[in-house]
Amino acid sequence: MATENIEVKERALNFLEEIIEESMAKGEKRVQTRFPPEPNGYLHIGHAKSICINFGLAQRYGGLCNLRFDDTNPVKEDVEYVDSIKRDIKWLGFDWAEERYASDYFDQLYEWAIVLIKKGLAYVDDQTQEQIRENRGTVAEPGKPSPYRDRSVEENLDLFERMRAGEFEDGAKVLRAKIDMAHPNMLFRDPIMYRIIHAEHHRTGNKWCIYPMYDYAHGQSDSIERITHSICTLEFDVHRPLYDWFIAALDIFPSHQYEFARLNLTYTMMSKRNLLKLVKEGAVMGWDDPRMPTICALRRKGYTPASVRAFAEMVGVAKRDNVIDLGKMEYCVREDLNKVAERRMAVLNPLKVVITNWEEGKVEMRRAVNNPEDEAAGMRDVPFSKVIYIERDDFMENPPKKYFRLSPGGEVRLRYSYLIKCEEVIKDAEGNIVELHCTYDTLSGEGSSSDGRRVKGVIHWVSAEHAVEAEIRLFNPLFKTEDPFDTSEGQLSWEDNLNPESLIVTKGYLEPALAAAKVGETFQFERVGYFCVDTDSVDGKMVFNRTVTLKDSWAKINK
């Protein structure tokens, strides 16, 4: 798939663009970025933002962006995730210059570790993890040097080689950089470079039983790829001096790290670890359950790539952490779907209406506009007949003033069809309204009424005999609290904040044209919302997901 031609909008430069433009003004010719996911889960909307930044900057400045899998922990990683990550990036409309893996660099990283040992800048430590942690000290107190800190270069080379050869058990030894056990930045207190993990790696198999730590692998991988701007989230700012330290100690290509604020969204949780828990425990249908914040879930729910990119652009690039209103994301998809989604009629909560003066068995095709925002979308036929369904909410027995929909004795326009007047309300023994008897104005088919009287209300409808029944899934936020980690009401954990009404399944009656809709296609059900054909659809049983409501409803209700 080729990279879409993504429009660059005119606006003030963000701070990353300013940095790049400054360096270009000083003669820097090249912009090379990378997106570095760890393949231990599916990408979420926060990653989408990072993708838009990294690929977007490369695009804007005629540079390149690599996709690099940060696959340094064999225990948590899997090819399933690698594949999904690639699919999601392409779906967003981006393409990488090169597909790389941190594991491609294991040999080089190992050789560089030897260089550092030889320079007296790394040593093998036999302390246990607990001892290492205890001896690291605190912010107020310096750490205690390891009793193994002053091993000779020869001994370190020998032990490190034997670590690699598999002579020692997991946790028996680590390789540490020899920096400063009293350093005010705790990360400088002899950070661990390698640990022993006897586990099969999804790419390197059993070749290695020592694996590099993030701090040792990331900057060096950037340097190997000659990344000019290594962009990551704010929590890595304390790692930056160490990133620079390794590059300087090895005297290799100087990549630089820049940090921006991670995306946080109300009612949304973005930790892969916790999302995996939801999947494993069956709290959701899977990684692509439309209630999840993952990219594949947004796709399944009916979000368009353009709407996700517009959202990333709208929230911008900040230097300070903040929380974005979920309503903004919904706004972006609504805006985009309004332009591209074809209109259809569907009734979700039906009330039967019999048109008493309509000839039995007669079917008339009404012409309907597919998309008022796009003339090229054309028109379609919608069958009209004696018995139709309207939305229960579009009828009121005792309407207030200024109620423009249907009521006893009142008139309403049926979208793309006739004016009807409610003559009789039929109830069951319990007094529930089961059916309306209406008459239609025979001359009102082309827009106006027969005598020029004005009728304000327009409602949608579906011919009962032609209606396609479908399962409709209505989604609400997965969490009932704006902050999923909120424990102010005595919740024990974020799991107590899961919204029991996040999924509501109902039945819909759709106009027959929708029977031909394909998985992934999104429509505006007029006056109801945007809906997308779900992957669970099978012949004879369609399933539609509500992508988004027509108006921002819940955000206001919950505030």
CA atoms in the 13 A half-sphere facing the CB of 347:
26
For residues 122 and 295, which CB has a smaller minimum distance to ligand ATP in the complex?
Answer: 295
For 84, phi then psi, to 5°, come to -65, -35
Beta carbons of 50 and 57 less than 8 angstroms apart = no
49 binds ligand ATP (CB under 6 A): yes
Determine which one of 86, 149, 226, 262 is catalytic.
262
Contact indicator for 267, 477 with CB cutoff of 8 Å: yes
Asked if 270 interacts with ligand ATP (CB under 6 A), we say yes
Q: Which is nearer to ligand ATP, 294 or 407 (CB)?
A: 294
What is the nearest approach in angstroms of ligand ATP to the Cβ of residue 260?
Answer: 7
| Shortest distance (Å) from residue 369 CB to Mg ion | 48
Query: From edge to edge, which strands make up the β-sheet containing 99-101?
Result: 32-35, 64-69, 99-101
37 touches ligand ATP (CB under 6 A): yes
Find the shortest distance in angstroms from Cβ 38 to ligand ATP.
4
Stretch that binds ligand ATP, among 41-49, 134-142, 169-177, 333-341 (CB under 6 A): 41-49
C-alpha span between 533 and 537 (Å, rounded): 7
| Residues numbered 450-509 forming contacts with Mg ion, rule: CB under 5 A | none
Using CB under 6 A as the binding rule, whether residue 47 contacts ligand ATP is answered as: yes
Size of the site for ligand ATP (CB under 6 A): 14
Minimum distance from CB of 38 to Mg ion (Å)?
Answer: 5
Task: Return the range that interacts with ligand ATP (CB under 6 A); candidates 172-180, 266-274, 351-359, 424-432.
Answer: 266-274
Q: How far is the CB of 485 from Mg ion (least distance, A)?
A: 18
Note whether 180 binds Mg ion by CB under 5 A: no
- DSSP for 11-32 reads -PPPHHHHHHHHHHHTT----E
What is the pattern of x (binds ligand ATP, CB under 6 A) and - over residues 220-259? ------------xx--------------------------
Q: How far is CA 555 from CA 13, 54, 153, 263, 328, in A?
A: 30, 30, 62, 19, 10
Which residue minimizes CB distance to Mg ion? 38
Pick between residue 38 and residue 373 the one whose CB is nearest to ligand ATP. Answer: 38
Q: How far is CA 509 from the centre of its chain?
A: 30
Residue 32 structure tokens: 């090379």
**Is 272 known to be catalytic?**
yes
Catalytic residue among 178, 272, 299, 334, which? 272
46's contact among ligand ATP, Mg ion, none, with CB below 5 to 8 A by partner kind, is ligand ATP
Q: Are strands 192-196 and 174-177 parallel, antiparallel or unpaired?
A: antiparallel
Stretch that binds Mg ion, among 10-18, 35-43, 219-227, 232-240 (CB under 5 A): 35-43
Q: Torsions phi, psi of 125, nearest 5?
A: -115, 130
Between 227 and 388, whose beta carbon lies closer to Mg ion? 227
User: Which residue bears the tokens 């974005």?
Assistant: 324
| Listed ranges 31-39, 328-336, 357-365, 397-405: which one lies at the site for Mg ion (CB under 5 A) | 31-39
- Token look-up 């409610």 returns 422
What the block records as the tokens of 360 is 């039995």
Contact status, residue 546 vs residue 525, Cβ threshold 8 Å: no
Q: Phi and psi at residue 68, in whole multiples of 5°?
A: -120, 120
Q: How many residues bind Mg ion (CB under 5 A)?
A: 1
Minimum CB distance to Mg ion, residue 272 (Å)? 7
Indicate the burial class of 43 (C-beta count within 10 angstroms; 0-12, 13-18, 19 or more).
buried
* DSSP notation for 45-107: HHHHHHHHHHHHHHHHTT-EEEEEE----TTT--HHHHHHHHHHHHHTT---S-EEEGGGGHH
The region that residue 451 occupies, defined by phi over 0 for left and psi between -120 and 50 for alpha, beta otherwise, is: alpha
Binds Mg ion (CB under 5 A): choice among 4, 17, 28, 38: 38
- Choosing from 4, 28, 38, 495, which is the catalytic residue? 38
Residue from 262, 352, 480, 527 touching ligand ATP (CB under 6 A): that is: 262
Does 271 interact with ligand ATP (rule: CB under 6 A)? yes
Binding interface with ligand ATP (CB under 6 A): 36-38, 46-47, 49-50, 232-233, 262-263, 270-272
Binding interface with Mg ion (CB under 5 A): 38
| Active site amino acids | 38, 262, 272
